[in-house]
Amino acid sequence: MRRVVITGLGAVTPLGTGVKAYWDGIVAGHSGVGPLTLANANRLPCKVVAECRDFDPTQALGAKQAGRLDRATQLALSAAHEAWHDAGIDGQVDRDEVGVAFATGIGGINSLLGGDQVLRQQGSERVSPFNAPGLMPNAAAGQIAISFGLRGPNVSVTSACAGSNHAIGMAFQAIRGGEAGAMVAGGAESTVVDVLLAAFAQMTAKSMIGHLFGAAGAVEGIATVLSVRDGILPPTINQTDPDPACDLDYVPNQARTADVRVAMSNGFGFGGHNAVVVFRRHEQPA
């Protein structure tokens, strides 16, 4: 069995674009939640969400490519580009043996709803042909492979909030079992749309508007990996009135240094989809 290591990271988050902005933000105890701007706040009971406000898809991907992709895929490609360059494996790997395992909870819902609106208001002849690949849940995995010319295993995972952890696990298994030499793994989501926000509010889950759905495990995985690498435990912010029955150390409100050698990331999703990933520090042989 091959040993599997993480060589590069990439992120687009409500705390900022890029891994450094994200990591600096959570270590400092910043929140990515703010006023709702991407949907119609006037007809929704919840007025705050976690949006990627500083993300400019045209800067990350170019205007032509960005215009053809759903926002979820834009986020995925931007993060994948950062991870690819951070890994430094360009020119060092056989792209026939490099694959993708990427997750989403809902997929290209912006493309779906946008195309439906055009159909109703302007007619079928005005619906873009890019709507079809844009709304498919496998769009991110496919576009990442196309962008980097990766011809290894390619899978798309849709298992709610456990999706990214499943994708990371599948990438691990592919490398360990010899099916691939390297994998791009993670998840992306863009669900700040009226109908979803209303639905989650109706099921009294609106306090979780800041949750990242299918991308949650990827973003949490980055935090877990960097905790191991840097020896820092990010804080649980806004813990002002703890329940005495919850007597574990939740690292309240302020980051803390620690010798972290092993850390675990849990991903629990709707429908009973559960996945746990454990990361261990890479120790150089003596």
Q: What is the pLDDT of residues 32-84, one digit of tens each?
A: 999 999 888 898 888 889 999 999 999 889 999 999 999 999 999 999 999 99
**286 belongs to a structural domain:** no
Q: What is the pTM of this model?
A: 0.94
Residue pair 7/83 in contact (Cβ under 8 Å)? The answer is: no
Residue 3 within a domain: no
Whether 242 maps to a domain, the answer reads yes
By DSSP bridging, strand 12-13 and strand 16-17 are antiparallel
Token pair 């899978």: residue: 155
In the chain, the amino acid numbered 252 is P
Residue 208 has a pLDDT of 45
Please give the torsion angle defined by the CA atoms of residues 100, 187, 81 and 177, in that order, rounded to the nearest 10 degrees: -30
Which three-class secondary structure state does DSSP give residue 158? coil
User: Which CATH number does the domain housing residue 176 bear?
Assistant: 3.40.47.10
Q: Is residue 220 part of a domain?
A: yes
Structural domain includes residue 188: yes
Q: What is the pLDDT of residue 210?
A: 59
Task: Provide the residue range defining the domain that includes 270.
Answer: 12-280
> Between β-strands 98-103 and 182-187, what pairing exists: parallel, antiparallel or unpaired?
parallel
User: Quick one: how many helices (H) and strands (E) in the chain?
Assistant: 10, 11
Is 43 contained in some domain? yes
3-class secondary structure, 191: coil
The percent of the chain in helix, strand and coil, each rounded to the nearest 5, is: 40, 15, 40
Residue 138 confidence (pLDDT): 97
Domain membership of residue 138 (yes or no) is yes
Segment-wise mean pLDDT, segments of 10 residues, the chain, 286 residues = 93 96 97 91 88 92 94 97 96 96 96 96 95 95 97 96 97 97 97 90 72 93 97 95 91 96 93 94 76
Number of domains in the chain: 1
Give the model's pLDDT for residue 283: 81
Instruction: Note whether residue 35 is domain-resident.
Output: yes
